[in-house]
Amino acid sequence: MTIHVLSADHRYTPLDDIARLSSADDLGPTLTRSLPNARGVMVLRTCNRVTIYVDAPASADPHALKDAVERELAQASHAQREDVHLRHLWGRDGLVDLFSTAAGLESMVIGEREIAGQMRRAARTAWEDGTLSCDLGRAAERASATSRRVATETGLAGAGRSVVAVGLDMAAAHLGPWVDTRVLIVGTGAYAGATVSALHALGASDVSVYSTSGRAREFAEGRGIGWVDAADLPSALKRADLVVTCRGLGSPVLTRDMAAQAGHTVVLDLALMRDTESSVASLPNVTLIDLPTIQASVPAADADALTRARAIIDEEVSSFERGLGARSMDPVVRHLRSRVFRIVEEEIDRLGEDPLSTDDAARALRHLAARLIHNPTVMARRAGEESQQERYLEALGVVLGIDETALISGDDATPHAFSPGDHSRSRGGVCPHNVHTLGA
C-alpha cells in the first residue's frame, strides 16, 4: 500500500484557482472508477485546499497516477488540462503531509482545529461513497488521533488559531464592543457553526442567520440564535454591523446592490468560492475582509511549538508505518494458522473416540510435532545440498526467533523421543557413536 497525496492548497496555488477546482462533483467515485490500480480515494475540501488521497499498490507508477488524477480533476472542474497542477507526495512523505494537514500544520492559520473535523467528514463521505479503503481509513483515523496529541502537547491550537478567529479579530478593529454588535451570518456551511461558537465566546449575543437553503431556523434553534427569512433579508442587512458569509456555493449571495443599501457594515467572507461580489469592496459603507485578506494577516506560529509538533508527526508516522508493515503479513499469518490447525485436526481425527492413556497422548503429540517440523527439516537438508545454509539459518532465526549461533552449535538440541531414526542424527556437528566409517 502507498498513500499518494495530490493537492492544490494555499501554499502553492492561488485561492481563486482552488475555488475553481473545488467545484468538481463526485470526484472520489469518479477517480475510483478511472484509476485502475486505486484501492481507495478520499477527497478533502476546505476554504484553502483541494486534496486528493489515493491508496494505490506500491507497484503503481506515481507519474502516471498524477497525470490521471489531474486529467480527471480538470474534466470534473471544467478547467483546461494544462491549467491543473497538483503537488504530489507519496510514501512516507505523503503520510507526513496527511498527518500534518490533520494537525493543522499546513493550514492557512497554523494549528487551527477545524481541519481535523473536515478530515473526519472527508473520510466519512468516502466511506459512504464506497471509496474508502481500509488502509486509507486507518491513516485518516490515526492522523485525527495525532492531531489531538499535537493540540494537547504543543498549545498550537490555543485561542486565535483558526481562520474564523483571525477573521473576527480583523473585523473587531472596525466594530464596537462585541456585546453591542449586531451580527448576521449568511449561510450554514462548514464555518457557520464555528463562527457562532467564536461569537458567543467573544460576548456577542445579537446573532442571526439567513440561508437560501431553508435551513436557517433549524440551524438557529440548535445554537440559541435568531433566524431571518428571505423577505426580511434587506432589513437585516441594513441593521447588521457585521455580516459573515460562509455559504460557499459558487455564486455570490451578497451583491453590490444589496450591500449598497446596507448601513456601515463589515463583511467577513469566509467562503472559498466567494459569497460576496468583489466589487462590494469599493463601496464606501462596506469594509470587506475575505480569505486573501486573512491569508496576508495570519499571525506566525510559535517556532518551538511548531518544532515539537513536527517531531510528534514524525513519531506517529513511524509508528503507523510499523503497524502497516505488521498488517501486511496478515495473509501469511492466516495461512500459517490454517495450515497448522488443519494438521492438528487431522491428528485429532486419528485418535478416535477411545479414552487416551498418558503414553497415547505423548505419542500423539510427538507425531504432531514430527509432522510440523517435517517441511522445515526437508528444506534444511535441501539448503545444505545447495550451499544455502546461511540463508536458511537467517530465515529460520527470523521466523522462530532462535539465535543463529545456537542453531549452528546445537546447544538448543536437547534429546527427544520423536522416532528411533532421529536418535541417529548428528547433533552439533558431532559424529554419532555408531558411525565408524564414512561409508557406514
Q: Is 47 a catalytic residue?
A: yes
CA torsion, points 410, 413, 415, 418, in degrees to nearest 10?
A: -120
One of 47, 134, 246, 431 is an active-site residue; which one? Answer: 47
DSSP-H helix ranges across 105-206: 114-129, 134-154, 163-172, 192-202
For the annotated binding site for substrate, the residues are 46-49, 107, 112-114, 118
For the annotated binding site for NADP(+), the residues are 187-192
Q: Are 156 and 308 within 8 A, CB to CB? A: no
**CA-CA distance, 187 to 191, in Å (whole number)?**
9
Provide the grid cell at 430: 558431532
Q: Are 161 and 113 within 8 A, CB to CB? A: yes
Q: What are phi and psi of 307, to 5 degrees?
A: -60, -45
Q: Are 81 and 74 within 8 A, CB to CB? A: yes
For the annotated binding site, the residues are 46-49, 107, 112-114, 118, 187-192
The DSSP output letter for 275 is: S
The burial class, CB within 10 Å (0-12 / 13-18 / 19+), for 91 is middle
CA separation (Å) from 183 to 74, 214, 217, 269, 400?
Answer: 38, 19, 16, 13, 69
Residues classed as catalytic: 47
